[in-house]
Amino acid sequence: MKTSRGAAILAIITAALLILPLVMHDTFVLRVLTEGIMWIGLAIAFDVIAGYTGYLNFGHGAFFGIGAYTIGILMMQAHLPFWVALPLGGVAAALTALIAGIPTLRLKGAYFAIATWALSRAIQQLALNVEFTGGPDGMRLEAFLNPLFFYYLMLITVGAIFLVLWYLLERAPFGLKLKAIREDEEGAKALGLNPTMLKMQSFILSAIPTGILGGIYAYWITFIDPSSTLGDLVSDQAVVMVVFGGMGTLFGPALGAILIFAFKTIFWAYLSDFQLLYLIILGALIAISVIFIPNGLWGTLVKRKAVARPQEKPEPASEPAALSAVAVPEEGN
């Protein structure tokens, strides 16, 4: 029942987003919606390693920047078409996660978070000091001025990411294995799971869609530089969106991304001169979420709904069924 209801809601939202550009022709609104959809994809990708596996990755923005720079380098220097370069952005992000995960996934808690943040800063410094990235001046891509194309491309990509992650994390055994590691890594190991391999798979699964979204972003914006694609803001906003929306779910990060991005859009429209205030508010939101709504907004709403729903009393078992339950001994007795 819950699954069919959720599928119906998703179908209605998807249909509305597909039809919206046909009835609304404002380019600015379309651009805002495109970026908002992108942030939904970044948030749910971040939640794979953070929410489902329990490893807070402060280097999430590095995968986004690697995807963006891969697209830029392959299109402008190797002269590959966009559709050939785009999947290679995901491959580059996956290879980075594989190499970075070997040392960092041995760490836990704050040590892992600090290590991934340091990795992100190192990649940013590399991009600032090598010539093929354009250094601090950045890189300009060939412009393709079609807002409708990028809107539908972002929508289809994020929709595909959501469906793939929903199947892997909510329907396949893989998601249960990650949750077992999150709850008790040593216990999961005692049950015969391989936490090292599963954490690496989770890290790579989080990096691939992030790199692809970074590639789409680069082609859409047409200009990338280390501060915009490899800076801390991408990771920081993903953390706030997931923690505020609810970790360990797919709907929570999506809800958090919508609310935080809406706030960001309004804030920059009217208070763009107070950049430091925006970062302070992001930090305050994390603190408030951790203290007052530790399950996130989505988790809190679901929990309250479950408490408010009257519990159905189980029907008394019939006499033959009760007798048979008593009569059948447990295995091993």
Identity at 221, one-letter amino acid code: I
Q: Retrieve residue 323's tokens.
A: 């007798």
- Residues 101 and 252: their CA atoms lie apart, in Å, by 26
18-22, 92-96, 321-325: range with lowest mean pLDDT: 321-325
State yes or no: pLDDT of 304 exceeds 80. no
- Residues 41 and 262: their CA atoms lie apart, in Å, by 15
Enumerate residues 6+ apart whose C-beta is below 8 A from 177.
188, 193, 198
What pLDDT shows up at residue 241?
A: 92
Most confident region among 66-70, 135-139, 287-291 by mean pLDDT:
66-70
Closest among 162, 209, 167, 155 to 15, alpha carbons compared: 155
State yes or no: pLDDT of 120 exceeds 60. yes
Enumerate residues 6+ apart whose C-beta is below 8 A from 6.
251
State the burial class of residue 204 (Cβ atoms within 10 Å of its Cβ: 0-12, 13-18, 19+): buried
Supply the pTM of this predicted model.
0.87
Confidence of residue 232 (pLDDT cuts 50, 70, 90): confident
- Residues 243 and 206: their CA atoms lie apart, in Å, by 16
What pLDDT shows up at residue 297?
A: 86
Residue 38: C-alpha distances to residues 54, 139, 257, 299, 306 (Å): 23, 21, 9, 23, 31
**Residue 75 in contact with residue 142, Cβ under 8 Å?**
yes
- pLDDT average, residue stretch 232-239: 88
* Residue 107 backbone dihedrals phi, psi, to 5 degrees: -95, 165
